[in-house]
Structure formats: structure tokens, C-alpha cells
Structure 1
């Protein structure tokens, strides 16, 4: 749903001019407009979720140990190297394998011939060995991450979880991302169902490990699939389970959670879960068989939604509509398709990439790269007629203000600063207010008469943007 500003924004606390609430403290963090956290009022401005751009880049699951049921991918950017981990499985009753691929640009991928685990008469596989896998089926949903805890040991640069409801979740560590060992012989956490991609990471903002995982709304496997979370200081002892809430949204079924810190603003967690719709059949069995869909998987459909969180037990489904729809390809109208892989990565200075599973339950199962502008999940947009954006009250900080914005050839972004009472601040408004045009993901706002953003440091302020044929994506004080 696009939100249109025609007066008071839904998240505004009071009418404008306003009383003086406690100002937000955003410091020098980047603040993309993924939700209503910083927005007080919109006038003739729409707040839009933006479709990512599908590319021709494809990573096929075409090895004999991969195939139709390859899923639960994780992408990690480790310095200049992109690492991909995923489950390989050619048929439901066939053995699962933990597979590995590498890239130096996130676009061109190779499956290295590691020679660590054979498959039938093949020794040149990209399969990784996992301790304890034969007894515990740990390759089903092995989910690694690069541990950004400053206290992490060098031989535990990477950590991971894998498991199921019968045995619990097991913890793993690795120095190189290739050779993995169990952290403990016993499960590190048991209070969940876990039959999904369960997501751990170190939270820089919460200063702890966070684990998002599969539970059901009823007992055991009854009700709907949903998401819960726990935290830990040591990755071994975990807090009590908190089931996540979704604001005013009705309960929907989430097959995955794909929750991770946004790379450019890690205090914001983004989530792109697969929304699962049971028993909604888009094609009949005869049509599915003709298209190569296996084992009646056409009985359900799936898409992807977009949510945010700033820690705690609540997601914000600010945009309730689908983020990635199945689209025009019939084979993507099959349940468990359109899942986004864990791991939003920065491809270059202006571009982010995410990977979407397509043709699941078919021999042509593969990943497709989608790209988006930095901060480009959502935008504030004004057309030819001027529109206005008023931020909530926040404390000024840093030496300079930067914006991520884009205009047309005739478009403008005008920037004014208001005090806590809603009055313009001399030197930062009126004729002194900058009028920007162009396209930049990190553009410094410069004031006339040698005025500096640093003069405002410590003051509670609002910013009023006047937009014409312009998009605004993010702001940052630095």
C-alpha cells in the first residue's frame, strides 16, 4: 500500500504546529525511510515501497546433489569475497547436502571443487562436511553468519545454527567458513519447531546475539507458521522465547523470517519473510505436471513481504502489501517459490543485491539476482506539484547533513530547519535553504553564508523538505 500524504501523517503525535515531545536521538546513524519512525507529516507526498529490479544473473542448482529442492540460501560478504551457503536436494526423499559457492562481485558465481565430501562417484563437489549431520539432519537448514561481536575468537569468525524440533538447534563455529565444528555436543536451544531457516546474528545495537526462528501459533505443528526470537550474550545460553508481533496486521503465515541488520544502518533490522498461502492453487495438477512441477507442490502459493524492527519483539509491517510477487512465470506460482535468501549485500557504492529462489520443485530451480538502489526499499515521492515532508523532532548532531535523493531535470529538494516550536531557524531556512537537484546516494547539504550544520549540534530540530518531481530515500548526520 502506498501511503499518500494529504495532511497529518498516521504516525504523527499531534497537529502541526505541535507541542514539544522528547526529541528522537538518531546521532550520526543513517536513517532510511523504510517506515514511519522519523516522519511527522506528509503533504502531497506518497510513501512507496519500491519493487526491486530483476536481472539476468542466475545461479542454477544444476549439480546432481543440488536440484529441485535446493533452498535456504545465505549470502555473506566477507571482505572482498561473497560466500553463499545453501541446501542441495534433488528430490524430497533424497539426501540433503550443504553446498557452497563463491563470488568476487556478487554477480559471477563459481562452485569450487572442494573435494571434501564425495557424491556417488564424484569427488569434485562443492559440498561442505558438517559434524553430526548423519544423525541429526543438520544440512536441512544450516544458517551461518559472520560474527561481528568484537569479542569473537579468531577460530569462531563464523558461527551457524542448524537443527529441528526433535533434536533442537545446534551451534557451529568456523575460522574460514569452510571447515565447521560443533560448539557443543548438545543443542544450544530447544524451545521451537525450527523447520525453516532460523536466523542468528550479532546485534551491534543490542550488544547481544539474536536468534529469529520458526514457531507455530498453536501447539506443535498446529495453527500458522510464525516467528519468535531470543537473545544471548554467549551464543549458548538463551533468553525466554518472545513471539513476534506485527502491529495491526492480521496474522498471516510466514514460512521464513530472513531478518538481518540493514548493512548501512545496522540499528534497523530488515525482514523479507516468505508469506505462505496454503491450498490456494493457481494451476491444476495436469498443468503442473506439464510444466515439470514435482510432487503436487502447486497446491500452495508464496510471495515475499517487507518488514522492519528496531529490536524487541515487534516487527513493523508499515507496508502491508507484497514486496516480491510471483510474477508472470507460471513456475513461480508454486508454494515455497519467491523466497529471498538471507544476506542483503552491497554490490557497489550505489547498488544493493538480493537473491530470490525461482522454479522451486522443478528441475530448473535457481536463484535470480535482484538489485535496488542503496536505501531503495522505499521512498518519499512528490510529483510536479510541490509536496512537503516534516520530520519528527530529533536532536541535531554531527558536522554535516547528507541526503539520498533523486530528482528529474526540473525537480528540486529544498531543505529547511525548524526549531522545537516549529519556527524556522535563521540561516537554515528561507532564502538560505538549499535547493538541490540531481541524483546521489550521499549528497552533502551546504548552507549559504558559510553556515554549518555543526552550529545546530545538541538542539532539538525538525527538517522540512519541499519536494518537486523528487524522491527522498534517507538522511544522515555526520
Structure 2
């Protein structure tokens, strides 16, 4: 458009008037930058925003996104230690990977799968609970008989039911409030998907048999208000047409009624980087790693934040009789803003790594969906084992016997990913934002020689009077709720509803989240 206008004006006015025209061009309608789209304004309202990805990094200098691994002490919180959790010879058995956790009414509630020996036809779902999330009890519920007694904690008797993924359905009547879906193996029949419902998470009845084609491992469902439908995440076998081999992926489906599912879409598939990380075994033709499952959940502490604990299965060495090695599973972290487009973070390094040789978590680790909040921490429960997934299912030789159990990993609140700066000062500017509230809080670690200052910019990227860098009080603390203060006026009421940007100036600091909030100043 600009070239057309210049040509027309040059012909009409002649060359000698061009200089005058160019001086006035900023005011001439035909050369207003109509072709340049205004940047989209992100409406953050008064909801917490976490730094999962580059959404809030419109421009940046000497900062980076960092994934944070949770702390683990190696303690086993739940292990097989009851007679009905043992094989007929009295040896403890492996807890099923497909287990889950919820925090409700002051209790941490765990549903876990349990067999009675390798390849046993008996696989059940059991229940444990805790007031502090560390010391668990296994209540004798008196529901299902084993070895002539109902004094056990079994809630779904099987005979072969592949674990659980319990969730609360906000659209269901009270009698069907709790639901779980799993692959079952009825005697003499093909495996199938069953969904059970319950009023309390203890007493279960068959609810539906959804038809979704092939399914396997842990199947995740939740209601998603942004699309007004249920979302279903399950493992799927993708076929490599060139090699006539199959490999594991994660797909998403949608439903209005939990029975009919549609809009199938793969959301986690081995890409070129996965295929090339190790030489592929000629025996399998599969990628060196694929995805045994994907524990997707909505992070309720923040706005539009979805995460996937991606269970990565490694099998790239030819182990002869044992099949393919190392035959281990660890956990990567993937993030999304819409529960559809996921991106792995942390350079694809493990979010939950395998434990050292000889420990119970040296071969398998499987993160349960839905971390629970305990104070200012997130507790991520996981199932682990020292038995690999090779053809002969080898046990870690340093352990001497099979070990498995449920453990706990601890992460800072909102602490999956942060924007970091080192000793070299860094800064970044957000895209245009619109907020509600009168104060700004950060989840930030700037202690020990660090600092963070925040300035507010107008639509032209100019500092707003009273809220510039020089007026900002440096933050040099570590807090999940740190107020941002300016010298003249910490109250942001006059800016609420306006389009602004934030520019963060950081040194030796990690920034996890921000939130504009409405605070009653009369109480302070």
C-alpha cells in the first residue's frame, strides 16, 4: 500500500514535491500502517499466570526458560505389605503403574493397582488414604472377598483390571460423581475399556463401555469448560508404514456424553529428534524411545495451564533373549495452553529421573496425574519399580529382589518452569496485557544476591509515570507471594482495564508466576 501511494503522489505532484509529501506521510491516510496488525492483547484478568512457555516473553535479553526437577528422598510411602498383596508364595508384588491420587476433605486419597504375581490373572484396584500425605492407612472396607475374607482394601476386584485413573465429574449427579476408566481383560474375551462410577470413590459400579478403538495403559479423562466437552487422553499404537512396525503415541479425543468419542488427534508422537537420539535396533525398527503413556492434567492453580507427565519408554539396544534395552521408563514434562498442542520442555531431559542402582525406582518411574497442593508445595506421587520392561522382565541385580512402591516428589508451588537470569543482568517484556485488580504479586526467588524490578509500560512501550524502573523497589527475597511495590504508589487501580506491558529487570533470579489481585487496602 505504501509503494502504491508514493507512486501515485509522485505522478500527481512531481518530483520536487516528494520531500514535502514524505514529511507529511505520517498524517496521510493512505500510508497509515494498516497492513501491520496490532499485537494481540492478553487478558490476564486477576488470574495467576505461570511461565510454562514463551507466551509472556514478547522480547527478551539474557534470560532463559528453565525446567525445575522436583526433590525426591527415595522413601516408599505405600508398598505391598498385606497378604492379599502378595503372590501365593508370600512374596511382595509390583504395584501397578496405573495408579492415581486426589486430595479431598483433608485427606490424600490413593487408588492403586495390584497383582498377585507376574502375569497373574488377578489384578485389582485397592485404596489407601492419609491425613498428612506421608503416612498412609489401608482401611479394611469389607467389600470384596479374597482367600475367604473381606477384611481388605479392595475397591474394584477385577479379575484383571489394569489400574485406575479416578477423577471427579462436575457434570454428574452425586451417585456418579467419581469416575474411573481402565482397560479390562474379561476371561475368555477380548480386552475392552470400561468406565465405572461411584458416589464416594469406594463403592463402584459399571457405568459405560465407551467405544474408542485401541486403548492401553492409563487413560485420562476430565471435563474442560473452555470447549464444553470431556477430553480423553490415551495411548495409541501408530504404525510405521515403511517398516511395518508399530510404536506408541498419545492421542486426544472429545465427547459430550462419555460414550461416543470423536475428534481424535495425536498429541505426542516421536519426532525426528526422538528417532535420532540413538541408533535404532534393526530388530524392532521402532524409535529409540516412544510414549508408554501421557498423564495430562489441568493445573488448577493458574490460568490456561495444562501439563503432561510424558512416560518415555526407552528401548534402543538389542538385548538378544531379553529383547530390547534398556527397557526403562522415566518421565519428561510437556506443557500446553489448550490441552491440544504440547511442547516438551527442559531440553527433553527427565523431569522425574530413575533412581540409583539398587533402589526401588531404578528401572520404572510413573508419575500420577494431578499433583496435589500441600501448603506452598506441589506433591507429585509416582509409582516406581526395579523391574524393567524387557522380554524376560529383569530385576535390578543390585537389589537382589523385586521392589516397588509409591513415592513422593516435591516441587515449589507453580514451580514447573521459570524465567531465569544469571549474574549477567537480563530483562524481558511481556506482550500487551489487560488486567483487573489493584496490586501485583510474583512467585519469585531472588534471594542470595538476586534482584527483580518491574516497570509498567504504555501501549508505546514507554514507562508509565510512577511505575518506571527507577521507581520500582528491588525485590531481593524468595516468596511464592511477593508484592511488587513502586516508590510513589503501589496501587494499580488507575491502570486496571487499560492496555499495558510489563518489563522485568532481573539479576540472579527465577520468576515462576505473576498475578494481579484485588486487595482491600482498608485492611492494610
Structure 1-normalised TM-score? 0.84
Query: Which position in structure 1 is the counterpart of 2:305?
Result: 268
Q: Structure 1 residue 218 and structure 2 residue 244: aligned?
A: no
Of residues 369, 373, 377 in structure 1, which corresponds to 2:416? 377
Of residues 170, 177, 180 in structure 2, which corresponds to 1:160? 180
Q: Residue 472 and residue 338 in structure 1: after superposition, are their counterparts in 2 closer, same or farther (change >3 A)?
A: same
Asked whether the equivalents of residues 452 and 474 of structure 2 are also in contact (C-alpha less than 8 Å), the reply is yes
TM-superposed deviation, 1:309? 2.0
Q: Residue 474 and residue 90 in structure 1: after superposition, are their counterparts in 2 closer, same or farther (change >3 A)?
A: same
Q: Residue 431 and residue 84 in structure 1: after superposition, are their counterparts in 2 closer, same or farther (change >3 A)?
A: same
TM-superposed deviation, 1:455? 1.7
Matches within 5 A, 1:61-210: 61-66=80-85, 67-94=93-120, 95-129=122-156, 133-134=158-159, 137=160, 139-147=161-169, 149=170, 151-163=171-183, 166-184=190-208, 187-191=209-213, 193-210=214-231
SS state at 1:410 partner: coil
Q: Structure 1 residue 244 and structure 2 residue 262: aligned?
A: no
TM-superposed deviation, 1:228? 0.8
Asked whether the equivalents of residues 95 and 112 of structure 2 are also in contact (C-alpha less than 8 Å), the reply is no
Asked whether the equivalents of residues 295 and 367 of structure 2 are also in contact (C-alpha less than 8 Å), the reply is yes
Query: Which position in structure 2 is the counterpart of 1:359?
Result: 385
Q: Which runs of 5+ in 2 are unaligned?
A: 1-35, 86-92, 275-288, 388-394, 396-401, 518-524
Q: Residue 246 and residue 428 in structure 1: after superposition, are their counterparts in 2 closer, same or farther (change >3 A)?
A: farther
Q: Hey, what's the Cα distance between the residues in 1 that align with 2:198 and 2:313?
A: 33
Of residues 279, 284, 290 in structure 2, which corresponds to 1:253? 290
Query: Which position in structure 2 is the counterpart of 1:326?
Result: 354
Q: Residue 332 and residue 472 in structure 1: after superposition, are their counterparts in 2 closer, same or farther (change >3 A)?
A: same
Q: Residue 238 and residue 190 in structure 1: after superposition, are their counterparts in 2 closer, same or farther (change >3 A)?
A: closer
Q: Hey, what's the Cα distance between the residues in 2 that align with 1:340 and 1:96?
A: 20
TM-superposed deviation, 1:222? 4.3
Query: Which position in structure 2 is the counterpart of 1:468?
Result: 507
Query: Which position in structure 2 is the counterpart of 1:6?
Result: none
Structure 2-normalised TM-score? 0.77
SS state at 1:47 partner: strand
Larger CA Rg, structure 1 vs 2: 2
Once the two structures are overlaid, the 10-residue window that deviates more, 462-471 or 242-251, is: 242-251
Q: Structure 1 residue 304 and structure 2 residue 331: aligned?
A: yes
Query: Which position in structure 2 is the counterpart of 1:29?
Result: 47
Q: Residue 299 and residue 430 in structure 1: after superposition, are their counterparts in 2 closer, same or farther (change >3 A)?
A: closer
Q: Hey, what's the Cα distance between the residues in 1 that align with 2:98 and 2:314?
A: 18
Q: Hey, what's the Cα distance between the residues in 2 that align with 1:432 and 1:30?
A: 24
SS state at 1:455 partner: helix
Asked whether the equivalents of residues 246 and 317 of structure 1 are also in contact (C-alpha less than 8 Å), the reply is no
Query: Which position in structure 2 is the counterpart of 1:368?
Result: 407
Q: Hey, what's the Cα distance between the residues in 2 that align with 1:284 and 1:403?
A: 54
Q: Hey, what's the Cα distance between the residues in 2 that align with 1:129 and 1:359?
A: 23
Asked whether the equivalents of residues 164 and 194 of structure 1 are also in contact (C-alpha less than 8 Å), the reply is no
Query: Which position in structure 1 is the counterpart of 2:442?
Result: 403
Asked whether the equivalents of residues 166 and 178 of structure 2 are also in contact (C-alpha less than 8 Å), the reply is yes
Q: Residue 141 and residue 333 in structure 1: after superposition, are their counterparts in 2 closer, same or farther (change >3 A)?
A: closer
Q: Hey, what's the Cα distance between the residues in 2 that align with 1:278 and 1:381?
A: 34
Asked whether the equivalents of residues 249 and 268 of structure 2 are also in contact (C-alpha less than 8 Å), the reply is no
Asked whether the equivalents of residues 246 and 314 of structure 1 are also in contact (C-alpha less than 8 Å), the reply is no
TM-superposed deviation, 1:331? 5.5
Q: Hey, what's the Cα distance between the residues in 2 that align with 1:248 and 1:96?
A: 34
Query: Which position in structure 1 is the counterpart of 2:398?
Result: none
Query: Which position in structure 2 is the counterpart of 1:60?
Result: 79
Q: Hey, what's the Cα distance between the residues in 2 that align with 1:323 and 1:56?
A: 15
Matches within 5 A, 1:423-442: 423-442=462-481
SS state at 2:291 partner: coil
SS state at 2:493 partner: helix
Q: Hey, what's the Cα distance between the residues in 2 that align with 1:344 and 1:318?
A: 18
Q: Hey, what's the Cα distance between the residues in 2 that align with 1:101 and 1:473?
A: 33
Matches within 5 A, 1:313-352: 313-319=340-346, 320-330=348-358, 337-348=364-375, 350-352=376-378
Q: Hey, what's the Cα distance between the residues in 2 that align with 1:53 and 1:61?
A: 24
Asked whether the equivalents of residues 78 and 146 of structure 1 are also in contact (C-alpha less than 8 Å), the reply is no
Asked whether the equivalents of residues 204 and 266 of structure 1 are also in contact (C-alpha less than 8 Å), the reply is no
Query: Which position in structure 1 is the counterpart of 2:488?
Result: 449
Q: Residue 312 and residue 33 in structure 1: after superposition, are their counterparts in 2 closer, same or farther (change >3 A)?
A: closer
TM-superposed deviation, 1:332? 6.5
- Greater RCO (CA < 8 Å, at least 6 residues apart): 1
